[in-house]
Amino acid sequence: MNNILLRRLVVLHNKTKSISIAAEELGDQSTDFQTVKEHRDAYEHIMRIYAAELDIVQPPDGLTKDQYSDKSLDKALGHEFRAFYDASDLYSIRVKAEIYNILNPFTVDCIRTAIPNYFSEIKPKFYEIIKLIGKMRENKDIINDITSTEIDKYIGFIEELENIFQTIKRALPSMKEFRGKEIWDKVIWVIAGGVLIGLIILLIEKLT
């Protein structure tokens, strides 16, 4: 068995698993069927390797055990790459939805007060990362040209999204506090307006 391919497979699987867990923790209870399917297909190729190694089945097409093992590992790696892409894409979709749900009830002034650099830095950076992750799907079936360095780069994108998400979550109490002040200010203005109108009416009545 090709230990280099095997190590690459295991490392990629563990990274994909971490992303999948992060996506699950965002609150969406639906199953990531596409990533699960790719993992299942990778597992099937690995089982074929051991079936041949244990002489349960014979390698097809006249291949030796080593040739069949390398071919099956390569196919398993392809499925793991696709699982990685699917998990990353799903995470970006779910974290985008979570951020929208958090910020949607608040005004621009409220968000800007709690997170001063949100509109100038955080939001543009967030959508830039989303766009870059989306491009991963264009490479979903290009396996041999993807390097560990590129995978680590996309892991970095996921980590940046997580940092942005946590920054917004930490600002939630401040946004709620500012929103309370906004509501209270409106109440005061309504009361003051009502009192002023009442005084004007009384003044008019006295003058007439």
Model pLDDT for residues 135-159, shown as the tens digit of each residue: 766 665 555 456 677 788 888 889 9
55 burial via Cβ count (<10 Å: 0-12, 13-18, 19+): exposed
The alpha helices in the chain, defined as continuous H runs, are 3-24, 33-53, 65-103, 108-114, 123-134, 148-170, 172-207
pLDDT for position 32: 76
pLDDT for position 202: 60
Q: Please name the residue that has the structure tokens 């997170």.
A: 115
Please check the confidence at residue 186 and state whether its pLDDT lies above 80.
no
Q: How many C-alpha atoms does 177 have within 13 Å on its Cβ side?
A: 7
Please check the confidence at residue 134 and state whether its pLDDT lies above 80.
no
CA distances from 68 to 3, 57, 62, 147 (A): 14, 11, 9, 23
Size (the chain), residues: 208
Q: pTM of the prediction?
A: 0.77
| CA-angle at 79, arms to 73 and 81, nearest 5° | 100
Distance, C-alpha 14 to centroid of its chain: 17
Mean pLDDT to the nearest integer, 55-65: 91
Q: Within a 10 A sphere around the Cβ of 115, how many other Cβ atoms?
A: 19
Q: Please name the residue that has the structure tokens 């894409």.
A: 89
User: What gap in Å lies between CA 126 and CA 118, rounded to an integer?
Assistant: 10
Q: What percent of the chain has pLDDT over 70?
A: 78
Structure tokens at 117: 């650099």
Mean pLDDT to the nearest integer, 56-60: 92
Contact 69, 52 (CB under 8 A): yes
pLDDT for position 205: 61
pLDDT for position 166: 93
